[in-house]
Structure 1
Amino acid sequence: MQKFRVMTDCLERHNEQCPDKPAYIFLSEKLAPETQLTFAELRNQARQFAGRLLQTTQKGDRALLIFPAGLDFIVAFLGCLYAGVVAVPLCPPNKKRSQRTLQGIIDDCSPRLIITLKALSSALKDPEQQPSPLWLEMDHWPDAQPPDLTAPWPSVEAQDLAFIQYTSGSTSAPKGVMVTHANIVANQAMIRQAFGHDPDSTVVGWVPHYHDQGLIGNILQPLYVGATSVLMSPVTFMRWPLRWLQAISLYQARTSGGPNFAFGACVKALEREPDIELDLRSWQLAFNGAEPIRIETLQAFATAFQRFGFDSAAMYPCYGLAECTLQAAGGIKGTGVKTLNVDGPALREGKVVPSDSPFSQTLVSSGAALPGTHIAIVDPVSGGACAPRAIGEIWIAGAHVARGYWQRESLTAETFSNRLSDGIQPTYLRTADLGFIHQGELYVTGRIKDMVIIRGKNYYPQDIEHNVWSAHQGLEHSACAVFSLPDAEDKLIIVQEVRREWRKKMLADDVIPLIRQAVVVNNEITPYDIVLLMPGKLLKTSSGKIMRNAIRAQYMDKTLERWLG
């Protein structure tokens, strides 16, 4: 396949070779095509928009992109790439916390423009904000002069900054990951090779466009290979999870995926709609790209949807993070899931002991390092490489590793410029994730900052959380946070969300003893406090990850929305 310098080169190539092929199709809630752009239409609209950008911006200016789900965002993002403007994709704020996050990002990156739609701008503008960025309503240009597309355009180089991906942390100031054009193209090449994509590889996606998985995986990867991307709103998926699978069936997509919780949501939805009609035989690669990946979820999904033609060999666990653009590790397409049974108590001691005893725990492999990626398991204190099957911090090197954090020089040096203690090249990204490599496969076990320490012993929070929400059918799956208090490491706190349909069917006094028993039996520790939350009130990121630090802060501030039963 031809090598591209920047992503707009891909669009120019597809405009020449297949101008009338659909590049993007956006579906309504009922899965009817709502909007559609061919490669020619996409190229023309993106260049027109870039021309308008150049009337008010210079190369390197930042522009916040605040859009609802749809194709307008894609045109704006590509327009920024053409114009050399640094795009900053953001979630449309709808709550006070989100408004504060937006202001924090404005203060951090000093954008020249905020690009949005007219319907959003009036709600987002803050008349007291000084100085205020320029607001550009993409669908409203009353006084704009037609852009001069014959004028010289900025020279966009591969090493130039393409966009800033703000991470979803909630208890600290927002951090902007600086992703270059070269980073994007390098990771796109890795993903294409790992996923086996070609121009016929239709992709279906619902993950938000401001999330790295949605942008890099569902939007830019199809553009890179010249395939069609079929997109739907994340709200549609959250309300009706099976619409995701219906879209795969309708468009006979080869590739689609999401975080682990999405597969579990489909299993539960199928229990409510057992007579749905689906044809999933075309689905060759079902990527699962968020930790933790649970074997129970994968097995339940494969079993539930086998009758619709889903092949369990299509399951594709993988691993990545925004700091390396998107993906760093993945399996071999079509080989299914690899697992390893290990001794649970030994795992808490940082040791990997293969075991099939009653105390064993099944871990899911996230695959091997993608071509062009180096992964090392490192002692986070000494900086030395760990012995085989020893748990350490995951370090990553490769052309897809981002430049650093926007205007955070010391944090950038600390995170992105690391070498092993033996001094051997290359420089590595510290991920703050824990894991080990066994027979070339990466197994992710948790995050350093989330580790729970009780009486000197380490516990992975996701393991305790699984015990909690499995204790009673009225507890929401994957909606639990466990942590210890900063000044009391021996006090385990559990915060668990109640399922909506059960909140009037059970009593807290009946459920809490079951939770306590499950934790004691499986982990040999007694919870200090157990809090049950109202449905939908547990804080999560846009990819479904539990925001444990933010929930700890809510607990300490006494602002959790409790369910009292």
Structure 2
Amino acid sequence: MTGTPADAAAMLRDAARRRPDSRALIVLDRTGAEVESVTYAELEARVRAAAAGLAARTVPGSRALLVHPTGVDFFVGFFACAYAGLIGVPVPYPHAATGGVERLAGIAKDADPALILTDADFAAQRYDLPGEVTVLDPAATAPPGWEPVPVGPDTPLFLQYTSGSTSAPKGAVITHGNVVANFTEVADVLDAHHVDFTVVSWLPLYHDMGLGQVLTAIRAAGTVVLIPPAAFLMRPAVWPEAVSRYRGYVSSAPNFAYDLCAARTPAATIAELDLSSWKWLLNGAEPVRHDTFTRFAAAFAPAGFSPAGFMPSYGLAEATLYVSGRRDPGPLRYVDLDAEALERGTLTPAGDAPARRIVSCGAPARNLDVVVCDPETGAVLDADEIGEIRVAGPSVAAGYWQQPEATAARFGHGVDAAHLRTGDLGFFRDGELYVLGRADDLIIIDGRNIFPQDVERTVDGCHPGLAAGRSAAFALERSGETVLGIAVETARGGAAGSETERRARAEMVAAVRRGVAEEHQAPVGAVVLLRPGGLPRTTSGKVQRRATRARHLDGTLKTW
């Protein structure tokens, strides 16, 4: 790879210089048809023109909301902010039916943008938001001799609003230096400079994982094939079809996407695919499930897919994205631990006892210091000791936008007062990181630490009428005692009032109660059946357990 760029704007300029006529972005619809594409030279010219206009109307450091559906315009706006010295704020494109307007309004209030970069459809809605609505002109040109606004590694590039899996969204301040450091490391890990680097992604561009895939490709001067998230959810086969057609090299997705794709891609479709180019599949949104990879590999083996490319990884928005991941293709590394001992906080081989299989998330990034600490004292723990994962290095964000108390609570902890508190529990073994889950998701019953992921995995196998990977376990209080609450989606809809459906759902509830009680020896206080799509999730597909609990208590879950 060429020398390290000085800032994010230089990443795009470098790619345009190296591969001006190569396509940078290709956008597909749900059928897989191309609806838009742009070369690096075209993208850089559009960015330069847009940035010149923005710089003439604002001052460096102003915020600009990026309100675009999946497409080229999003990245024109993103890099125009980088060129103009503005702080981009990627946000969901709002749809009243999905509650996106409310989330957008909350982000806009926090970020206080000077500009809203968007399309004509959004501009026509006239939402009551701060900032001047601006639709960029694709035919604009930059004045002769115009140059980007100078920035440094500590200059904020964008605000990554966290997905809110356990708390209200906050804007992590991601700097130019954070982006260059993180995605240079990712590109090196993926060997991007030695291959025809093509990313195929359906993830939302306003989320760290979706945006990060594209920035990695631009750092490597590669090509990105973009699929709108709704297109994938409606027809998951569009993802592997695009990998086959464009010879995709790498993709990232959360656990549920692999299960969904394996379950809903017809065998006849798989037989027509060639997935031999698909070297890396990253999974890092939740603790990785070994059985998810097994099902996916079995489903797509007829298309030439090799399971050696699975890359369990770990990351978070406050560290820009990537923290750890495997580096060499091969069999997945995992440990089978005694589930009861794990509940007591010790790592004991499973033997004949009920086991929990924990998949390794690989070695830490080479430019980061990743440690496991005692959550209370901050003391660094030895290998095979469970504690809080903490991270320091050039990828760690500068804090939360205008939230000093939240910043102080998360940033600047550890033996050298430089580490980020991730809030995730894990341990090291043989130099690799194993992630157990969120510390504040733990369910403590009779002094036992019950990980909700374990309960949810049990729920998956309780009844064929339940949707795999679509449940949330959380703590409830009943008569002064802690019990389990479980919310789970059914696999399909049906006539809610029919006697047949009522009996079927009663059987599902009974099966969940029986299965969880037998495997976890824990009291189940409530089992709630949700309609398909009714489980609260973050933008990256993570289960929102605290939100599920809150909505259960206030009666707003989408139940049958």
**TM norm structure 1:** 0.94
1:330 aligns with 325
Q: Assess, with a 3 A threshold, how the Cα gap between structure 1 residues 547 and 502 changes in structure 2: closer, same or farther.
A: same
Q: Assess, with a 3 A threshold, how the Cα gap between structure 1 residues 458 and 419 changes in structure 2: closer, same or farther.
A: same
Distance 2:265 2:63 in 1: 44
Distance 1:328 1:170 in 2: 19
CA contact (8 A) 1:375 1:396 kept: yes
Identity of aligned residues (%): 37
Structure 2 unmatched runs, 5+: none
1:494 aligns with 486
Q: Assess, with a 3 A threshold, how the Cα gap between structure 1 residues 513 and 240 changes in structure 2: closer, same or farther.
A: same
Q: Deviations over 1:262-321 (max 9, x none)?
A: 111111013575665110111111111211210111111111111111111111111000
Which of the residues 106, 111, 114 maps onto 2:113? 111
1:48-197 equivalent positions in 2, closer than 5 A: 48-95=49-96, 97-123=99-125, 125-126=127-128, 132-138=130-136, 148-151=143-146, 153-169=148-164, 172-197=167-192
1:5-404 equivalent positions in 2, closer than 5 A: 5-95=6-96, 97-123=99-125, 125-126=127-128, 132-138=130-136, 148-151=143-146, 153-169=148-164, 172-198=167-193, 200-217=196-213, 219-270=214-265, 276-404=271-399
Structure 1 unmatched runs, 5+: none
CA contact (8 A) 2:356 2:454 kept: no
Residue identity matched to 1:260? N
1:471-482 equivalent positions in 2, closer than 5 A: 471-482=462-473
Which of the residues 450, 463, 468 maps onto 2:459? 468
Q: Assess, with a 3 A threshold, how the Cα gap between structure 1 residues 492 and 428 changes in structure 2: closer, same or farther.
A: same
Distance 1:74 1:447 in 2: 32
Kindly state the Cα deviation for residue 426 of structure 1 after the two structures are TM-superposed: 6.2
Distance 1:15 1:521 in 2: 60
Distance 1:146 1:272 in 2: 49
Q: Deviations over 1:168-219 (max 9, x none)?
A: 11775431000000000000111012111126211111111001011112x1
CA contact (8 A) 2:48 2:142 kept: no
Distance 2:124 2:448 in 1: 52
CA contact (8 A) 1:481 1:496 kept: yes
Distance 2:266 2:351 in 1: 32
Aligned residues: 551
2:525 aligns with 528
Distance 1:265 1:382 in 2: 41
Residue identity matched to 1:299? T
- 1:427 matched to 2:427? The reply is no
CA contact (8 A) 1:7 1:181 kept: yes
CA contact (8 A) 1:177 1:322 kept: yes
Q: Assess, with a 3 A threshold, how the Cα gap between structure 1 residues 300 and 172 changes in structure 2: closer, same or farther.
A: closer
Residue identity matched to 2:132? L
Distance 2:433 2:147 in 1: 48
Distance 1:431 1:14 in 2: 33
Residue identity matched to 2:276? R
Report the aligned-residue RMSD. Answer: 2.0
- 1:537 matched to 2:539? The reply is no
Kindly state the Cα deviation for residue 355 of structure 1 after the two structures are TM-superposed: 2.5
- 1:547 matched to 2:539? The reply is no
1:514 aligns with 511
Kindly state the Cα deviation for residue 560 of structure 1 after the two structures are TM-superposed: 1.6
Kindly state the Cα deviation for residue 256 of structure 1 after the two structures are TM-superposed: 1.4
Distance 2:126 2:524 in 1: 43
Kindly state the Cα deviation for residue 540 of structure 1 after the two structures are TM-superposed: 0.6
Distance 2:434 2:423 in 1: 14
Residue identity matched to 2:446? R
CA contact (8 A) 2:271 2:303 kept: no
Residue identity matched to 1:471? C
CA contact (8 A) 2:200 2:226 kept: yes
Kindly state the Cα deviation for residue 325 of structure 1 after the two structures are TM-superposed: 0.3
Q: Which moved more, 1:319-328 or 1:333-342?
A: 333-342
Q: Assess, with a 3 A threshold, how the Cα gap between structure 1 residues 345 and 124 changes in structure 2: closer, same or farther.
A: farther
Residue identity matched to 2:551? Q
Distance 1:345 1:88 in 2: 44
Distance 1:173 1:40 in 2: 40
Q: Assess, with a 3 A threshold, how the Cα gap between structure 1 residues 82 and 295 changes in structure 2: closer, same or farther.
A: same
Q: Assess, with a 3 A threshold, how the Cα gap between structure 1 residues 146 and 277 changes in structure 2: closer, same or farther.
A: closer
CA contact (8 A) 2:531 2:558 kept: yes
Distance 1:408 1:257 in 2: 30
Kindly state the Cα deviation for residue 545 of structure 1 after the two structures are TM-superposed: 0.5
- 1:406 matched to 2:401? The reply is yes
Distance 1:466 1:361 in 2: 10
Distance 1:274 1:27 in 2: 18
Q: Deviations over 1:386-423 (max 9, x none)?
A: 23211110001111011110111122122110123xxx
Distance 1:367 1:22 in 2: 32
CA contact (8 A) 1:539 1:550 kept: yes
Distance 1:334 1:225 in 2: 20
Residue identity matched to 1:118? A
Q: Which moved more, 1:68-77 or 1:501-510?
A: 501-510
Residue identity matched to 1:455? D
CA contact (8 A) 1:465 1:480 kept: yes
Q: Deviations over 1:421-445 (max 9, x none)?
A: xxxx361110000011111111110
CA contact (8 A) 1:58 1:85 kept: yes
Q: Deviations over 1:463-500 (max 9, x none)?
A: 10111131001101111111113685512111111111
Distance 1:170 1:553 in 2: 12
- 1:3 matched to 2:4? The reply is yes
Residue identity matched to 2:21? D
Residue identity matched to 1:367? G
After TM superposition, which residue ranges in structure 1, 4 or more long, deviate above 6 angstroms? 502-505
Kindly state the Cα deviation for residue 122 of structure 1 after the two structures are TM-superposed: 2.5
Distance 2:73 2:454 in 1: 41
Kindly state the Cα deviation for residue 456 of structure 1 after the two structures are TM-superposed: 2.4
Q: Deviations over 1:209-259 (max 9, x none)?
A: 001011112x11111011111111111111111110010000111111211
CA contact (8 A) 1:212 1:326 kept: yes
Distance 2:317 2:263 in 1: 30
Distance 1:212 1:388 in 2: 29
Distance 1:172 1:455 in 2: 26
2:437 aligns with 446
Residue identity matched to 2:431? G
Distance 1:240 1:192 in 2: 29
Kindly state the Cα deviation for residue 454 of structure 1 after the two structures are TM-superposed: 1.6
Kindly state the Cα deviation for residue 140 of structure 1 after the two structures are TM-superposed: 9.0
CA contact (8 A) 1:52 1:146 kept: no
Kindly state the Cα deviation for residue 19 of structure 1 after the two structures are TM-superposed: 1.1
Q: Assess, with a 3 A threshold, how the Cα gap between structure 1 residues 156 and 459 changes in structure 2: closer, same or farther.
A: same
For residue 500 of structure 1, give the secondary structure of its aligned residue in structure 2. Answer: coil
